[in-house]
A = this chain, B = another copy of it.
Amino acid sequence: MSDPRLARLSLNQRTTANWSLREAIEGAVAAGLRSIGLWREPVAEVGVEVARRWVDEAGLRVSSLCRGGFFTDGDPARRAAALADNRAAIDEAAALGARTLVLVPGGLPPGDKDISAARSRVADAVAELVPYAHERGVTLGIEPMHPIYAADRGVVSTLAQALDIAEQFDARDVGVVVDTFHVWWDPDVLTQIARAGERITSYQICDWITPLPPDALLARGMMGDGHIDFQELTRAVAKAGYTGDVEVEIFNADIWAMPGEQVLATMARRYLNLVQPYL
């Protein structure tokens, strides 16, 4: 019998990056989880239909599919390619029954210093994708990213910006991803989580650790190893009405070097101590 307190905990499969999709599904089930966050690349390795069958047979929900987005380039050909890739991602999210397709906006195009224009192109791209996503019943989740990534990964830096875009559409079509790593520092975070309300399509958790590891893309820590107040953020997300899964997404070389079973045991324990009581 799995611990009922783990009913909303989800393993984002990048947390155990060295596991195959099959191993991640089996590992999640063995740890008593009922949900998993998938990435397109490992899904593509086995095909969407096989991936869907595996998660169904394992009795898991797909809390999110990572990721669409990267549509900040103004060049018409690259922009068209990005939108086509996003439509493919929407199809995959629909086929997997994913709660949301996570959109990582993308950074500044090479040599381009106009961050306002790049931000506008994010809003335009979302607008262009909404009808396609709506027809397929997929909710787009705009993920604001920590300003450390504003130049090269995500020009949408705050929940307020993400909501300014999302609120132009029906909440079933466009929401926002609240990832503790990206938003914890924001002086306005509690207000914006309350504002988000039903638009929160995913709650992702990991910690901000110091000193920051040398590779900024692998700088995330296990909950409890860093500086984030999970109680406050989790209470705010719960108060906003979020009833979905809580996905642990950690990019960290040290954690990737650990046996996956151990990572899941630690994340379940930390979740029970630091997060679950405040949901």
List chain A positions with a Cβ less than 8 A from chain B: 108, 113-115, 119, 146-148, 150-152, 157-158, 160-161, 184-187, 208, 210-212, 214-216, 226-229
9 other A-B residue contacts (CB within 8 Å) besides A150-B185, A150-B208: A114-B229, A115-B185, A146-B147, A148-B212, A152-B210, A152-B227, A157-B187, A158-B187, A212-B216
Distance of A229 Cα from B118 Cα, bound (Å): 13
Can you give 16 contacting A-B residue pairs, CB < 8 Å? A113-B228, A115-B184, A119-B187, A146-B147, A147-B147, A148-B148, A150-B208, A151-B185, A152-B210, A152-B227, A160-B187, A161-B187, A211-B216, A212-B216, A214-B214, A216-B216
Chain B residues whose CB sits within 8 angstroms of the CB of A211 once the complex forms = 152, 216
Which residue of chain B lies nearest to A153 when distances are taken between CB atoms in the complex?
Answer: B210
Chain B residues whose CB sits within 8 angstroms of the CB of A229 once the complex forms = 113-115
Q: Out of B113, B151, B157, B227, name the residue touching A186 (CB < 8 Å).
A: B157
Q: Out of B114, B147, B228, name the residue touching A185 (CB < 8 Å).
A: B147
Closest 9 CB pairs of A and B: A214-B214, A150-B185, A113-B229, A147-B185, A151-B227, A212-B216, A152-B210, A148-B148, A147-B147
Taking the closest CB of chain B, its distance from the CB of A122, in whole angstroms, is 12
Chain B residues whose CB sits within 8 angstroms of the CB of A114 once the complex forms = 229
Which residue of chain B lies nearest to A150 when distances are taken between CB atoms in the complex?
Answer: B185
Distance of A214 Cα from B229 Cα, bound (Å): 26
Chain B residues whose CB sits within 8 angstroms of the CB of A115 once the complex forms = 184-185, 227, 229
Distance of A197 Cα from B41 Cα, bound (Å): 49
Taking the closest CB of chain B, its distance from the CB of A147, in whole angstroms, is 4
Chain B residues whose CB sits within 8 angstroms of the CB of A227 once the complex forms = 108, 113, 115, 151-152
Chain B residues whose CB sits within 8 angstroms of the CB of A212 once the complex forms = 148, 216
Taking the closest CB of chain B, its distance from the CB of A193, in whole angstroms, is 14
Distance of A152 Cα from B148 Cα, bound (Å): 15
Distance of A160 Cα from B188 Cα, bound (Å): 11
Taking the closest CB of chain B, its distance from the CB of A13, in whole angstroms, is 25
Once the chains bind, are A185 and B210 in contact (CB under 8 Å)?
no
Which residue of chain B lies nearest to A210 when distances are taken between CB atoms in the complex?
Answer: B152
Distance of A208 Cα from B150 Cα, bound (Å): 10
Chain B residues whose CB sits within 8 angstroms of the CB of A187 once the complex forms = 119, 157-158, 160-161
Which residue of chain B lies nearest to A214 when distances are taken between CB atoms in the complex?
Answer: B214
Chain B residues whose CB sits within 8 angstroms of the CB of A147 once the complex forms = 146-148, 185-186
